[in-house]
Amino acid sequence: MRTKVLPLLFVLATLSCFAQEKDSRFGIELNGGPSIAIKKVDDAKMKVGLGFEGIFHYRFYDYMGVYAGWGWNQFSSKESFMGKCYDFDETGYVLGLQFKHPIGNSPVSYYLRAGGLYNHIEIENSDGEIVKDTKHGFGYQLAGGINIPVSKKWSIITGLRFNSLKRCNIEFSDYKRTLDLKYLSLRIGIVKMF
């Protein structure tokens, strides 16, 4: 009898600890905004681009958590090594650590993020056809911003992100190129906590 009661008491005690949790640990974030390449990609000067991300958050300690998600950013170039009017789409995944802390006694908080990217760059012609895909590779992301609660479970989030993705030895018709995409993104979005 005791061997059956002890595991049952342990399970009930564990569930009651979770039930008393005041702050949500999980969140889903959707954000978007302009992206600005801070250098040429090979010889291609990029126009201001646009992007968005969907991110899942999990807070495992008071102010620390992990985040993971998927993002898309598109940059256009009038002139590039590919010719005239090509788009450079960077898409892929992010996984990293997040530090989020209240500002003073206010409900507003700031956050800092550092993560790894697993992204690729697709080059599209003016008809929207993919003419080159670099395949996925590793890069990194650094980010920071402000989280402004609008209710107990909803927040508005703003931030600035720096992404870096370098894809080496990409073969074109008669030569190889290294595509080194570094850009800043201004983001605004919403967060739903669970």
Q: Which of 4-13, 86-95, 112-121, 172-181 has the lowest mean pLDDT?
A: 4-13
Percent of the chain with pLDDT over 70: 87
Residue 82 exposed, middle or buried by CB count within 10 Å (0-12, 13-18, 19+): buried
Query: pLDDT tens for residues 126-141?
Result: 888 898 899 999 999 9
Contact 167, 160 (CB under 8 A): no
Please give the CATH architecture assigned to the domain spanning 24-193: Beta Barrel (2.40)
Angle value at C-alpha 45, between 42 and 51, nearest 5 degrees: 100
pTM score = 0.83
Over the chain, what is the mean pLDDT?
87
Q: Residue 92 pLDDT more than 80?
A: yes
Query: pLDDT tens for residues 2-53?
Result: 445 445 445 444 444 444 346 789 999 999 999 999 988 887 888 999 999 9
3-class secondary-structure state, position 13: helix
